[in-house]
Structure 1
Amino acid sequence: MKVLQRFSALPAMDGDGVNINRVADFDKLRFDPYLMIDEIKSDDEQDFIGGFPPHPHRGVETFTYIRKGGFEHRDQMGNIKPIRAGDVQWMSTGSGVVHSEMPLADAKEGLHGFQIWLNMPAKHKMRPPIYQDTSKQANPGIENENGATLVALAGRWGFNHEPHKITSTIQGLAGHGAIADLTLTEYGHGTLNLAEHQTVCAYVYQGVLNYIDAQGLRKTAGAGQFLVLDALEVCHFQTEATGAGLLILAGKPINEKIVHMGPFVMNTQAEIEQAVRDYQQGHFGQIA
């Protein structure tokens, strides 16, 4: 596995005072089609109890994955869903969504989850929104003999040399996006051939991952490190005594300039200004 670039998640705050760690790139688009990954990880409810009250989106896809605890999602389309540990939720917001995400009252053991943003192609930014979640079915997983377990959160996945692949129920992400959760036990390792993708990234959320950098040096990445990988190289993920957990993000660049302001991601400043006007005038609708 060859790492081309490495980023560190930075502390940030969003919603009603929710503490998060964030990796984002809305300017150089170095992990196109992905724009941002937020991680919430705390056993102290004061870090997340305020949640994310009603707010809009346009022109972006939001992908939420919960490992511990949960949120209740509500939107103007009529969806009211608890998103709990192991669940995935995907919204292709298109022309506009208003939603809220508030901590579940019965989730008492802390919260660990992620929200990932993907850009949408200009031709799709004003289409009707799409909503999917996996609250009624488990995400499929596959385990190799070397202590690596892969859970398909979106797209189609499999280990090299395995006779079959697994397919998530979440399909159709912008930029042919595919997302998986890979966990490695002590000294675990697994190989993924991701050459069909042009963008491959990994976000380490626990343990330590071994890798080779662009200069050929052996290095390690710990929790909160975001790695942009060489998609042309076979990706061999390996850890030592610590084990590791990481999200793998793969896809194809959209290669379009964007303008970003808060919850809106469009292609021109005029489109951003129109989004603000449409929201202020109530065209996005309201949560029932």
Structure 2
Amino acid sequence: MDTLGGKTALVTGASRGIGRGIARRLAQKGALVAVHYGGNEAAARETLDLIDRDGGRAFAVRAELGVSDGVEGLYAQFEGELAERGEGPEFDILVNNAGISGSARIHEVTPELFDRLFAVNTRSLVFLVQRALKNLRDGGRIINVSSAATRIAYPESVVYSMTKGALNTFTLALAKELGERGITVNAVSPGFVETDMNAARRATPEAEARLAAWSVFNRLGRPTDIADIVAFLASDASRWITGQCIDASGGSHL
């Protein structure tokens, strides 16, 4: 179904993993999708090829997040690409998926790790949204990709968990702030998903089985599992949902 026909979406961190799954699903639903990536041009090109193969429309924008000019650089490219397609700078859906991980227990945390994780996962997200509000249409959608680590204690990645906790608080405040414009703001919290980010944690069949056992379905999540939830939140069917953090962990540690 063409539930997002006529809509334009920006998905950050869309070259691989969950972000790629989200970009593909939004394009399948009819949206024109901007595929943001930080440095892996080959992976971004593969995402575009997959979307084209599906019959969708997409283009890539490259920008490093967590640096001083990253956000403005992203939107400059985004607006330029839209103009080349005869589109104005306005858009409808912002999916904040870009993020980095960093496994470290409290005694292993360094100032460099702390600053890097918060710069990319939290600080850049705030200013991505701030800048987006100049162009995001009334009635638009902001969807933040959080983590089940905000519900399930995961001391192995304490700072990463903290960045996602901040994201959830931001989601709640922003939903109230933007209600007058009809913009909904929600977060989605995956558990362990079959992506490159979790490759080291599932390096052996035994390790993968342990992670799968977290879910009541006894399997790892797939990018499509998360993408379908995001597509729902991006659609008009979710119009009465805002300020929520939707657990997308397959019932992990219920």
TM over 0.5: no
Which structure has the bigger radius of gyration?
1
More strand by share: 1
